Amino acid sequence: MKNMTGKERIANYMYFVVRIATLLSVVMVFFPAFNPGKISGLINKNMSLFTTAIAYDSLVENCVRAFDKGWVSETSFIILFVSCMLLVIGIVGAVAMACMSLGNNKFKKFGNWFGFAGALLQIGGLVGIYVAYTQMAATDRPEKVEPAFATAIWMAYMVLAAIILILLIAIQILLPKVEKSEKFEMLSKYKLFLMFMPFAALTFVFSYLPLYGWRYAFYDYKAGGTLSADNFVGFKWFTMLFESEATRGDIVRVLRNTLAMSGLGIGTSWCAMAFAIFLNEIKSVRVKRFVQTFTTIPNFISWVLVYAIAFSIFSTDGFISNLLVNAGVWESGVNMLMGDDHIWLKMLAWGMWKGIGWSAIIYIAGISGIDQQLYEAATVDGAGRFQKMWHITVPGLTPTYMVLLLMSVAGILSNGMDQYLVFANPTNTHVIEVLDLYVYKLGIEGGSIPLSTMVGMVKSVVSVVLLFGANTISKVVRGESIV
Amino acid sequence: MAKTAQEKLDAKAEKEYYKKHKRAYKLTPGDIVFNILNYTFFIVFTLCCLFPFYYLFINTISSNDLVQKGLINFVPRGINFDNYISLLKADEVGQAFLISFGRTLLGTALMVAASAFVGYVVTKQEMWHRKFWYRFLVITMYFNAGTIPWFLNMSMLGLTNNFMAYIIPGIVAPYNIILVKTYIESIPGELEESAFIDGAGYWKIFREIILPLCKPILATIAIFGAVGHWNSFTDSLILMQGAPELHTLQHKLYTYLNTSSNLSALMNPGASASALEGMMQSALNAKVIKYTISMVSIIPILMVYPFMQRYFEKGIMLGAVKG
């Protein structure tokens, strides 16, 4: 594109603006705060334009009574739904245009038609939303329907659509005529980028967008409510973590459980290495295979199934109770899953049962990578079995162990909630509740969204800091990074 | 496995060597004790890993009366498969099975396809700001907004009480993309270049050259992805609160386990004899039902397990090579 004419150059600058406008409208589509279709109090406040446009059922979920009583006609909602859909389709058209604008002139000119059509659809959709609003505003029960027109947002979409439309017309005029024989072409760097883009969008939506939810931690938010300047509370929830007696007590208890169980896990992480080393001492290949095959299976079943297994063995009418009752040792079955004694150790044991065979695999692979000549030399020097293990195998595996150890230290706060959720019951909840489980219970079951978001946020930040700390240590000590 | 001539020779030489140095290789008493302890430990531990599955299984195929009396501990008696048949006939469990199966199939297929494609695209140096976009992708493995923001985000996107919530978020899996990328980078570049000179585009090269060559790594991520989908349960628990018909099998199992533990907790000595008996009856039937659902959830894993084993080491060792 070195030999561009002046006109093409101007068109390119205009495209820059058009692309930004397109990107802005795409982003706005996914945020509930920028939903021009929220024209009535009957509509769920947490709906984005996107959901409004694709899920009619959730759009009208609160409207059954309103339709029955004739406060508002269902037609207005259908108009709204269709208009939103048009708006979204229009934005999709703009996206198609923006993608094609990365190609040659033929591509650009072709793509512009999508842009025109898209912009017109957007404007049509916006007009439709206004029509739906005027219909709703004409209701005789405004206090129930609560018609409300988001003028600023509506205008924003309108302006963006207008910018796109006007600039595209200008671009279409500026771009030189293309020959019929010219082919659709695009530089490979843009081609590759466009191939990648949908996945970048998915990543953005599912990994980056949740970070935007951290704002809930600074508001006094109740499920179904909205965020506004009125309920902004700043760092209230953060200080509450330390100042409120009850919350502080909870946090201390939960942190103690988390650190204790993670700590036990980290403290026993060498067991997997020992497992591998001792397994390696078994000379019979068949036995070795047998052990390796069947100790790995538990890793592939979920914690729910582990709990099902624990239940079948340790519950009131499980295996152990059956045996002891039939033998006359116990009078009746005992449910060994109830009660809070040694829960940390029990959880460690279950974690080992599930994971040790799997964790050992990486060490087994490591052992086969150790130079056999070292062992032979040691044998010649008269080293015994344990001396060889201690002086050759262990040092050989230490680098791997250190990496895994650092990773697990970085993840000390994130021991997941599955295991503890399934094993929790009213008798042991005070010693089994870890941070992740606490956040889940507080937020999803208890509905205190801001506080649980705050806890989760602090946890995430600490985890990232720990990870980078571990990484730095690894860089300094081993000269290699772990992430 | 057929031994090559060289291997045979080696084995022979080794045998002779042992014969010659028999004394040096004679086990000392210490060795014998160590071996006994070592073998015992590993065999006992392996049995601990294996027995629960066996125990569950024999309890589901034995006569329910004997199971109720707690007499089925080591050998199955009165073998029948009625429990499985009646369980799969029960709508609720059949539905949950279909949901789990569907998400495993669809979710894994899309994840593998996307990982292969993205893995290929990010190996291309000429991509616009490749480094930035690759980091944009990979860095998401190291941070996490937390459960609640994730939940709020999903509900904002309309992905609560919606089957697609199982599928769409899992399509882009950075770790698997890294695995595929590393694998593709190990393929000699000449293959691609010659196809490029012949006028093939990226898409054609990907489909006809890269994809067939990547089969081993794709099989690896497919199997791990499928197991992850089959086992996953928190997403069902958190996102599908309003749609019991979309609960996965694991979630259903969790619910049943909790219900029956409540049932047994209800059996306090204060209750009247007949009511107690009735409850006992249902609690014990619940036990067999629970065991059977557990087995139904475990069996698919055990079925793919032999195929998985081939890929263990590959998966783990590739994971060690990042970046």
Distance, in angstroms, between B118 CA and closest chain A CA? 6
What is the pLDDT averaged over residues A343-370?
91
Is residue A232, in this structure, part of any structural domain at all? no
Query: Which residue carries 């017109």 as its tokens?
Result: A120
pLDDT of residue B319 exceeding 90: no
Q: Do B176 and B204 belong to one domain?
A: yes
Q: B146 and A203 in contact by Cβ < 8 A? A: no
CB B130 within 8 A of CB A196: no
Q: A287 and B39 in contact by Cβ < 8 A? A: yes
Q: Cβ of A312 under 8 Å from any chain B Cβ?
A: yes
Q: Which residue of A has its CA nearest to B165?
A: A206
The range of the structural domain enclosing residue B44 comes to: 20-80
Q: pLDDT per residue over A354-364, tens digit each? A: 999 988 988 98
ipTM for the assembly: 0.87
Q: Cβ of A329 under 8 Å from any chain B Cβ?
A: no
Q: pLDDT per residue over A294-340, tens digit each? A: 999 999 999 999 999 999 999 888 899 888 888 888 888 888 888 88
Domains in chain A, number: 2
Count of CB atoms situated within 10 Å of the CB of B118: 28
Q: B172 and A216 in contact by Cβ < 8 A? A: no
Type of residue at A101: S
Please, which pLDDT band fits residue B21 given cuts at 50, 70 and 90? low
Q: Do B158 and B61 belong to one domain?
A: no
Is residue B284, in this structure, part of any structural domain at all? no
Type of residue at B227: V
Q: Do B58 and B185 belong to one domain?
A: no
CA B107/CA A284 separation, integer angstroms = 41
Q: Do B26 and B45 belong to one domain?
A: yes
Q: Do B211 and B242 belong to one domain?
A: yes
Q: Cβ of A125 under 8 Å from any chain B Cβ?
A: no
pLDDT of residue B321 exceeding 50: no
| Residue among A121, A122, A139 nearest A74 (CA) | A139
The range of the structural domain enclosing residue A39 comes to: 6-186
Q: Is B222 exposed, middle or buried (0-12, 13-18, 19+ CB in 10 A)?
A: buried
Q: Cβ of A4 under 8 Å from any chain B Cβ?
A: no
CA B186/CA A282 separation, integer angstroms = 35
Q: Cβ of A471 under 8 Å from any chain B Cβ?
A: no
Give ∠ CA B237-B91-B56 in degrees, rounded to 5. Answer: 70
Contact list in A for residue B73 (CB cut-off 8 A) is 319, 322-323, 326
pLDDT score of B6: 78
Domains in chain B, number: 2
Helix (H) or strand (E) holding B192, with range, is helix B189-197
Q: Do A246 and A111 belong to one domain?
A: no
Q: Which residue of A has its CA nearest to B297?
A: A305
CB A428 within 8 A of CB A448: no
Q: Is B212 exposed, middle or buried (0-12, 13-18, 19+ CB in 10 A)?
A: exposed
Q: pLDDT per residue over A180-228, tens digit each? A: 888 888 888 899 999 999 999 999 999 999 998 898 888 888 776 667 7
Helix/strand/coil percentages in chain B, nearest 5:
75, 0, 25
Distance, in angstroms, between B144 CA and closest chain A CA? 6
Q: Which residue of B has its CA nearest to A452?
A: B148
From A122, A157, A186, give the residue that closes a domain.
Answer: A186
Q: A311 and B322 in contact by Cβ < 8 A? A: no
pLDDT score of B16: 78
Q: What residues contact A110, with CB distance under 8 A and at least 6 apart? A: A100, A184
CA A168/CA A112 separation, integer angstroms = 6
Q: Do B50 and B150 belong to one domain?
A: no
Q: pLDDT per residue over A227-267, tens digit each? A: 777 778 888 888 888 888 888 888 999 999 999 999 999 99
